[in-house]
Amino acid sequence: MTGNDHLTDTVGSSALLHTWQAASIESVWLRPGDWYTPATEALVEALEARLDTAPAAFRLGQARSESGVGITEAIDDMAVLFRSAGFESAPIRSIRALCEGWTHGSVAAPSAPQMTDPESGLGTAEYLTQRLAEVYGTAGRQGSSVTQTHALVIIDVSVLDSDPWQRMARNAAVGQALTGAYGDGHPMARLGDGLYAVLVERGTRLGRGIALLRDHISERATTMRVGNLMRQPPRVWIESLPETHAYAHELIESMVR
């Protein structure tokens, strides 16, 4: 049974719930069959009854996390609901509750090695290290030097705070900005809170690309209303790669925090 089938069979499902699902699947949701959860109905009911939506948002965040949905997708999905209901954006209190619920569900879920960071949607440090191994292996077979052909672009938007929802919102925004700038599947990773790395090829346009990337991240932060949660302007610089993959691994580990 698909998510649409479930909604069709649910007695009393509101028009807003159907509108939210359709708009989310069309714009931000990755797998249509796993969109529905009873927590979506609870959130719609709270919104339509003009109640505090934060408790229902917490339950939705928990449900999303337990089903393996990343925080970026969960935030974007809830934003679709509030836009569908005629609001300019989701309330900060409900976004915070969604993130807190997502964190709670993540802690409760069985831990397993991951190659994708769920908060940003980017790779993990382990993923980037593996992609670097491929680059060094190719260079070795071709007789070229990675130090001459590739580099890391490092992005630092970190600020001092201890709020988990702010951290997740920040990582989600930068993750979307980097994916938009480089495309899906490009080697990049979140190395820590507010710190990211992108593996790029060296070339004459690399310096200009850095400036454009800095502007792109700032614009995405403004769009997602998290500009106040990150360093402005972001720090972006080119990090040279060492001669061997072993040293590159050490470099990545030194930046993980």
Q: 118-144 burial, b if ≥16 CB within 10 A, otherwise e?
A: bbbbbbbbebbbebbeebbeebeeeee
| Contact assessment for residue 164 and residue 103, using Cβ atoms and an 8 Å cutoff | yes
CATH number of 125-255: 3.30.70.270
pLDDT of amino acid 13 = 52
Identify whether the C-beta of residue 195 lies closer than 8 Å to the C-beta of residue 158. yes
pTM of the model: 0.62
Could you tell me the pLDDT band of residue 170, with boundaries at 50, 70 and 90?
A: confident
Domain ranges of the chain: 3-108, 125-255
User: What are 233-257's pLDDT values in tens digits?
Assistant: 889 999 999 999 999 999 998 888 6
